[in-house]
Amino acid sequence: MFMAVTDANENHAFRHESLQKTLTGIPGLDDITMGGLPKGRPTLVCGGPGCGKTLFSLEFIVKGALQFNEPGVFMAFEEKADELAANVVSLGFDLEELQREKKVKIDYVHVDKSEIEETGEYNLDGLFIRLGYAIDSIGAKRVVLDTIENLFSGLSNEGILRSELRRLFQWLKEKGVTAIITGERGENTLTRQGLEEYVSDCVILLDHRVINQISTRRLRIVKYRGSLHGTNEYPFLIDDEGISVLPVTSLTLNKKVSSESISSGIDELNNMMSKNGFFRGSSILVSGTAGTGKTSIAGSFIDASCKNKEKCLFFAFEESPAQIIRNMSSINIDLQAHIDSGLLEFFASRPTLYGLEMHLVAIHKAIKKSKPSVVVLDPITNLITVGSVSEVKAMLVRLIDFLQEEQITVMFTALSMNTIVNDQTDEGVSSLVDCWLMIKDIESNGERNRGLYIMKSRGMQHSNQIREFVITDHGLELIDVYLGPDGILTGSAREAQILQEETGEVLHTNALGRKDRELLRRRKVLEAKIDSLRFEFESAEEELNKVYIEEELKKEFMEQTRQKMTDIRKGAGYRNEK
């Protein structure tokens, strides 16, 4: 986004060379103004008391001196030089040092009505000469007049003042310095004294609003002659590094994409996706009801990423870092080790600490600062306490946009309290997230178990099955849901079913064995019977054989006897024949 804007601006500047811009150095502002304030022209910065006008303009001067080598004059009508210096020491600006180096000149203009008597005609040449001298003495390119309206309280001849101011702004343009003029906000006008009449090139309005007891600073470019600019109200933050403005809506949708994958930290979950993990730079939403283990999933994702030497940033909106570390150690995830090695950083804040926009700015800043490749927000739904659902939605859209631009893999956890919020999440974030893991309660048999499934995962095949999600003391596990004859079984019912089936198996084998043995016995009995019959048969056969042999023997013997008898008779007869 930032790249794109800068490029667009360069092209823009190339085509219209007449409008040159001066970078302010205030993070974000140069994106909204597409290159900074109009060069060589005055810009009006107005707003109510305490909205940050002085800081804004002082930062313009200091950043100019430090970053762009453009010396600047700060003409203060309200605060003395040493007061100003003391006020910004906390932001790390050393005004005294800068003044010694002749990069910044602070000129305090004291206007006190009680000391001044007016008689007759006069003009403000004294101021012009002072300012001119200050500009020339350090070769200033930037000028701030804060707050020039104080002149109106010190001098009573308004007619002279107005014509002199008109001349002053014209003179500033001729001098070719980029100027900021601050003005207090009036009743129905931008400034109390109608300065916007004189400064018409660029007008920036600062605002400080309190909604639901939470204050948010906002900035809007009311007008920027001859230039494109963001027209929305942009939240800005004043913290220990000065002002940062957040351009909340990106202008383009031309993000880079990666086809590299990054592990979820749970092997079984990786296996459910065809790319073996999430895409790098994608956004992952983990949603589920209370106590379903969303933070644990985030913790294990962080753990895996840190082990792959990825820089991680954990935004905690619910628990303190110490609490998360302790809780994660109970499931064998040692986050403290990653903190010690510098790979993991925690960023914990109460949602009610500041407004939603401020959270976004703070998240932006933290990310810009530590440049992580993996970010976890736990949980995003807690932010609803400081904004309506639709505001949170809008904020998330912008956040996801920003993260994808930066190629950061982000995991959100979201608590779905009831179907209404769930539907909202559906509408609001679903279209932006690339991967959505749902954890559901499965209640049956008087117990509650967790079921995890992948609702969507852009650009890859994923399993459509519900897995049982088990948190053990050695980590997170996904178990195939047991499909019994009566439907899906989880938890102890699954265990029972497995047990029951194992018992059945044993009984079954036992029964089979008994039948086998029975058969064997029957076979043996039959074989025995067969044997005895055979013996019977043999004896009967022998009996029969015996008669037969006797008969044979008898027959043979009778034959012999008859032969003998014949022979005997034949012998007698033979002798007779002889």
Partner 1 sequence: MNNVDKSYELRLYVAGKTSKSIAALNNLKRYCEEHLKGIYSIEVIDLLEHPQLAEGDQILAVPTLVKKVPEPVRKIIGDLSNEEKVLVGLDIRSKIQI
**Residue 111 vs 222, nearer CB to partner 1:** 111
Opening angle at CA 273, ends 272 and 276, nearest 5 = 105
Rounded to the nearest angstrom, the gap between the alpha carbon of residue 416 and the centroid of all alpha carbons in its chain is: 17
**Residue 166 vs 522, nearer CB to partner 1:** 166
Among 123, 212, 332, 445, binds partner 1 (CB under 8 A): 123
User: Residue 126 Cβ, how far from partner 1 at the closest point, in Å?
Assistant: 4
Among 121, 174, 527, 577, binds partner 1 (CB under 8 A): 121
d(CA 302, CA 374): 8
Tell me which H or E stretch contains 535: helix 491-577
Other CB atoms within 10 A of residue 76 CB: 22
**Residue 119 vs 418, nearer CB to partner 1:** 119
Query: Is 504 among the residues that bind partner 1 (CB under 8 A)?
Result: no
SS (H, E, C) 127-148: HHHHHHHHHHHHCCCEEEEECC
Report the site for partner 1 in 57-116 (rule: CB under 8 A): 107, 109-111, 115-116
Query: Is 167 among the residues that bind partner 1 (CB under 8 A)?
Result: no
User: Residue 249 Cβ, how far from partner 1 at the closest point, in Å?
Assistant: 44
Among 4, 8, 66, 130, binds partner 1 (CB under 8 A): 130
Strands 475-480 and 482-484: unpaired
**Residue 147 vs 216, nearer CB to partner 1:** 147
Q: Where are the alpha helices (DSSP H) in 217-316?
A: 267-271, 294-307
Report the site for partner 1 in 143-162 (rule: CB under 8 A): 151, 154-155
Q: How many residues bind partner 1 (CB under 8 A)?
A: 24
User: Residue 378 Cβ, how far from partner 1 at the closest point, in Å?
Assistant: 56
Helix (H/G/I), strand (E/B), else coil: 476: strand
Q: State the catalytic residue, choosing from 197, 233, 268, 318.
A: 318
Among 133, 537, 557, 574, binds partner 1 (CB under 8 A): 133
- Single-letter code of the amino acid located at 232: N
Give every strand in the sheet of 435-444, ordered side by side: 344-348, 312-316, 374-378, 409-415, 283-288, 435-444, 447-457, 467-472, 475-480
Helix (H/G/I), strand (E/B), else coil: 9: helix
For the question of residue 552 being annotated catalytic, the response is: no
Among 117, 174, 187, 473, binds partner 1 (CB under 8 A): 117
User: Residue 131 Cβ, how far from partner 1 at the closest point, in Å?
Assistant: 9
Query: Is 565 among the residues that bind partner 1 (CB under 8 A)?
Result: no
- Residue 376: name the closest of 403, 408, 401, 410 by CA: 410
User: Residue 127 Cβ, how far from partner 1 at the closest point, in Å?
Assistant: 5
CB–CB of 308/434 below 8 Å?
Answer: no
Query: Is 139 among the residues that bind partner 1 (CB under 8 A)?
Result: no
User: Residue 79 Cβ, how far from partner 1 at the closest point, in Å?
Assistant: 15
Residues in the chain: 578
Token digits of residue 319? 């628990």
Q: Which residues are catalytic?
A: 78, 318
> Given the rule CB under 8 A, which residues bind partner 1?
107, 109-111, 115-127, 129-130, 132-133, 151, 154-155
